[in-house]
Amino acid sequence: MKFFLDTANVEKIKEFNDLGLVDGVTTNPSLVAKEGRDFHEVITEICSIVEGPVSAEVIALDAEGMVKEARELVKIAENVVIKIPMTKEGMKAVNTLSKEGINTNVTLVFSANQALLAAKAGATYVSPFVGRLDDIGQDGMQLIQEIVEVFSNYGIATEIIVASVRHPMHVLESARIGADIATIPFDVLAKLFNHPLTDNGIAKFLKDWEGHMNR
Ligand code: E4P
């Protein structure tokens, strides 16, 4: 399973990339706005750090505008992936871009039918949002199960990025279901390291070692 970092924060990307944990990065307009930096500048910097795919989202809502933005964004670096919203116009853009060999990530996916449409349009990745479904009382992980099942029924090559990840259980369940990728906020990724028995174990080993040295 691949881990993408869901952030536009360059310092955090560097920190986790140095641990070998970053297979790619996803950004969205909200995450870029949070950093208060120029969009092209921040995507350029992320691509200079991370070898894997880096998703940059278009702002236009019409296919023509999306394609125009995409063609500019891919000039930044080879690993730029164009993030496109799940709309009719979006799928028109995905279809055009896939024929040009431009990789796309269809975002704001909330049903298996939407994921299927994105795959048929030629999307490289689909991003179902589990946390936002949980927020409205639906089971986000159930959606991942459905998409994995549908894609495997037809040998669909589009990769599933579990998005809107809010806690470590989303990561574990994604891995158990067999999703290709989870895109994880850095605070959630940091939590994966933690276990009280690990901390207690280290403290006990050190205590025993000090006792032995003082004998
Ligand atoms: C990733 O591609 C999405 O932009 C992101 O995971 C959305 O997460 P949120 O629902 O926490 O904003």
The domain that holds 171 is classified in CATH as 3.20.20.70
Parent domain of 40? 2-213
pLDDT number for residue 146: 98
* Closest ligand 1 atom, residue 107 Cα: 2
Which residues of the chain are modeled with pLDDT < 70?
Answer: none
The pLDDT of residue 44:
98
Q: What is the pLDDT at residue 100? A: 98
Residue 185's pLDDT is: 98
Residue 50: the pLDDT is: 97
- Ligand 1 pocket mutation, candidates 27, 28, 31, 136, criterion most atoms within 8 A of CB: 28
Question: Among 69, 15, 16, which residue's Cα sits nearest to residue 43?
Answer: 69
Counting the structural domains of the chain, the total is 1
Residue 75 alpha carbon to ligand 1 centre in Å: 25
Prediction ipTM score: 0.98
3-state helix, strand, coil in the chain (%, to 5): 55, 20, 30
Cβ–Cβ under 8 Å, residues 98 and 76? no
Active site residues per annotation: 83
